[in-house]
Structure 1
C-alpha cells in the first residue's frame, strides 16, 4: 500500500483520488474549498488542513489544479524533500518544465502526467495516460500510476513531452471533428442522414486513420514526393467541396482554408508531393 496525496479536487482531481482509494491505497486530500473533499472522506480518504500537511502525509503527491502557476504557489509552503510530485495540471510544455525545475530544486522527484480521458474514464483499462520524467521515478510508482489508466506509459524523460502529446491528440481530434461536422452540415442540407452515410462510408473513414502512420514517416524523414495521391490530385476535390458548400449556403470557411493551403503548395512547385508537405506551412516556413 502506497500513501498518496491529491491536491486539487475538481472533476479530474476527485476522479484521481477515487481511483487511488479504489486501488486500496491510503489517500490524503486537500482542496481550497474543503467541502469538495466530503465524498472522498466518506470513502476513506483523510482530509488535510493545509497543503503543507497534505504533502507531509505521503511520498507520492499528485497535483491537479487550474494552471501551473497555481500548482507552484500551492506547493511553495510545503517541504518537498524526498517526495515525488506528479503534476497532472494542464498547461504548456514550457510550464511543465518550469514546474519540474522548481520542484526538483527543492529535493523532490518529478513526473508530469497527461491523462487522455474525461473524469469518468479515469481508471478504465483503455484510458491513455502520457507520463514524462526519469525512468527510475516512473518505475518506482508504476503500480500506483497504473490505477489511473490501463494504457499509461512513460513517453520521455522530458516532462514537457506529455503535454505536447496531449495537444497533438487534441489538435487531431478538433480537426477531425470540425471536418466531420462540416460534412454533416452538407449532408443534412441535402436531406441525407449522417448515420446512413457512416454505414456506407465506414471503410473509407477507417482508412483515413490507417493512413496516419504513412504521413508520420514522411514528416519525420522530410521526404514528401510520392507516386500516388499527390497534392495536385487533391486540388479538384477540395475545389468541388468549396463550390458545393457555397451552392448550398453551407459555411465555406473550413474547406476554403484547406483549398488555400493546397493551392499555395502547388503554386510553389510541390504539386507532386504528398499531402504531408503541408506540415511546412504549419511550421511557419
Structure 2
C-alpha cells in the first residue's frame, strides 16, 4: 500500500507520527502536573481561608445578633435559618442572603440587609400591604392595593412572626397574632365579574374616610358595568353605572344630615339618576 509513496513522503509521515506521539506525551505530562498544581493551590487556598476565618472569629467579627424588622406576616425563624452563625460576619454574602430571604414568604416585597460591625446583621423587610379579599369563583385571595395576589386565603397562617426565646414575649405574641388575624378578617371583600379591572373605584371609596366607608364589608362588581356596596349590617347599596361617586357622596350626605335610618332597609337602589328606592 506504501509502494507508491516516495522516500521523502515516508520521512514526512514519520515526522508527523513522531510529532503526534510527542504531543500526546507532553499533554499527559502537563495535564498530570496541572492537576497537581490545581490540587495544591486549592489546598493552600482552603488553608488560608480557614486561617482568615479563625482570625476574624477570634477578634469578634462573629454573627452574635440578627435583627429583623418590618415583618408582620413573615416568620423571622425562617430568616434565622438562612444564616450560618458559625462563619465570620464578613463572609456573609449580602446579595445571596437577600435572594434567599425573598424566597421565604410571598408577603415579602423588598429586603435590605446590612452588616453592623463587629457582630450584628440587620435585616429590614418590606411586605406587601393587604388591601382586600378577592373572591374569584371558589378561590379567595388576599390582594394588595394594585390588585396583585399576595397569598391564597387558605394558606394564611397566624403563627408568631417573632422568636419566643424570651418568656416575657408570650403575651406579646398572643396580642400580635390577634392583631394580624383581625387585620385580615376586617379586610373588605371584592367579588364579581372583572372586579379588579376597576380597583381604583374601591380605593377611592375606602380612602375617603367617612362613617359609611368604615362600615363597608364588600364590593360587588355587577356585569362589569357598576358596583353594589354591602355594609356591615348587610344593607346593599346599588350604585348607578354613570357617576357612582356622586351617588355615594349623596348617600353620605343623607347619612350625615338627615334622620334617614339605614338599619331599617336591606336595599338602597340608586341606579336611576335622581331617584332612590328602598326595600326593607
Sort the TM-score into its range (normalised by shorter chain): under 0.3
Q: Which has the higher helix share?
A: 1
Q: Which has the higher contact order (CA 8 A, sep 6+)?
A: 1
- Who wins on radius of gyration, i.e. which is larger? 2
TM-score, length of structure 1 as denominator length: 0.25
